[in-house]
Amino acid sequence: MLRSQTKLMDLGRRLCRSIGNNNGSNLTMVEVDDKTGIATLTLNKPPVNSCNLELLLDLNESIKQIERNGSRGLILTSSNDKVFSSGLDLNELHQPNQDRLIAFWRALQDMWLSLFLSRVPTAAAINGHAIAVGCVLATACEYRVMLPGFSIGIHATKFGYVVPPFILISYLSVLPRYIAERALLQGKLFSIDEALHVNLIDEVADGKSDAIIKCAKFIGSFAKTQPDARALTKRQTRAQDVQLLIKDPEGQLRESLEYINTPFFQQGLEVYLAKLKSKSKE
């Protein structure tokens, strides 16, 4: 690598400062670019960023921290170069301790609301597979840039999971209804070309830094808007989508828990988990 290139990269690094989210965990990392004021929020739970209770709480705290510290925007990405997020940590749903399951599902609902309604511009630099809730994280953002060679989508029905309304809504917020419905019913995972074709993603990037640059460019497109006016307009635009979860979070929680605790769901999950484990040993 040329010395001038190395220098430029060092400079880039120096311009970023890490900010903690006060809980001392490294499950997510936040770095703010001093020049642009944009925060990069990195999912960092090996091996595949599956969302367990701790990651969801941490992610929610980081989203709030980014809003509190006056960042100009949020870019969500992953420290894993193959997986953006593998969705919910299925171990949280399998034969769950009921108190932990309640905390887990509440954390999921709260985190989704924080990201979906974030007052700052949000973009996802999808540098790996984005499966199920991994896809939901990306669709909660306002803009998506993805790297080739990976899959994105919600394949829940293939494995016997009914999706809760807020997951459905997050798909519907970016896809036309007939495409969202068909994809959900088929349990479809989209290739990059398919995702681009239906506008599930906005752009393709040729590497993670290119994805981050493209996300930053999108966020920069709001430079001339007044932040409070932008934030309130976004909230109004999305108000109907969040109505159910904001009006009756406990009802939504109850419905999901009832379903997760059914023998039907638990048996299906057991088979799926076993398949996943045997695949990873191949």
Ligand X SMILES: CC/C=C\C/C=C\C/C=C\CCC/C=C/C(=O)SCCNC(=O)CCNC(=O)[C@H](O)C(C)(C)COP(=O)(O)OP(=O)(O)OC[C@H]1O[C@@H](n2cnc3c(N)ncnc32)[C@H](O)[C@@H]1OP(=O)(O)O
Q: Interface with ligand X by CB under 6 A: which residues? A: 47-48, 50, 82-83, 86-91, 129, 131-133, 156, 161-164, 167, 255-256, 259-260, 276-277, 279-280
Smallest separation (angstroms) from ligand X to the CB of 88: 4
CA angle (54 as vertex; 125, 265 as ends), nearest 5 = 90
Nearest distance from residue 135's CB to ligand X, in Å? 8
Pick between residue 224 and residue 277 the one whose CB is nearest to ligand X.
Answer: 277
Phi–psi pair at 175, nearest 5 degrees: -110, 145
Q: Which is nearer to ligand X, 217 or 275 (CB)?
A: 275
Quick one: 165 or 220, whose CB is closer to ligand X? 165
Which residue lies nearest ligand X, judged by its C-beta? Answer: 87
Smallest gap from residue 13 Cβ to ligand X (A): 27
Which two structure tokens, joined as six digits, stand for 164? Answer: 């809760």
Choose between 143 and 171: whose C-beta lies nearer to ligand X: 171
Task: Quote the least distance from Cβ 117 to ligand X, whole Å.
Answer: 20
Q: Which one, 162 or 271, has the nearer CB to ligand X? A: 162
- Least CB distance from residue 63 to ligand X, whole Å? 18
Torsions phi, psi for 245 (to 5 deg): -75, -30
In angstroms, what is the minimal distance from the CB of 148 to ligand X?
Answer: 15
Nearer to ligand X, 250 or 255 (CB): 255
DSSP characters for the chain?
--HHHHHHHHHHHHTEEEE--SS---SEEEEEETTT-EEEEEE--TTT--B-HHHHHHHHHHHHHHHHTT-SEEEEEESSSSEEE--B-GGGTSS--HHHHHHHHHHHHHHHHHHHT-SS-EEEEE-SEEETHHHHHHHHSSEEEE-TT--EE--GGGGTPPPPHHHHHHHHTTS-HHHHHHHHHHT-EE-HHHHHHTTSSSEE-SSHHHHHHHHHHHHHTTTTS-HHHHHHHHHHHHHHHHHHHHH-HHHHHHHHHHHHTSHHHHHHHHHHHHHHHHHHH-
Nearer Cβ to ligand X (42/71) = 42
Whose Cβ is closer to ligand X: residue 45's or residue 234's? 45
For residue 267, the tally of other CB atoms under 10 A from its CB is: 11
Give the nearest distance from C-beta 150 to ligand X in angstroms: 9
CB of 133 to ligand X, least distance (A): 3
Q: Distance between alpha carbon 213 and the CA centroid of its chain, in Å?
A: 18
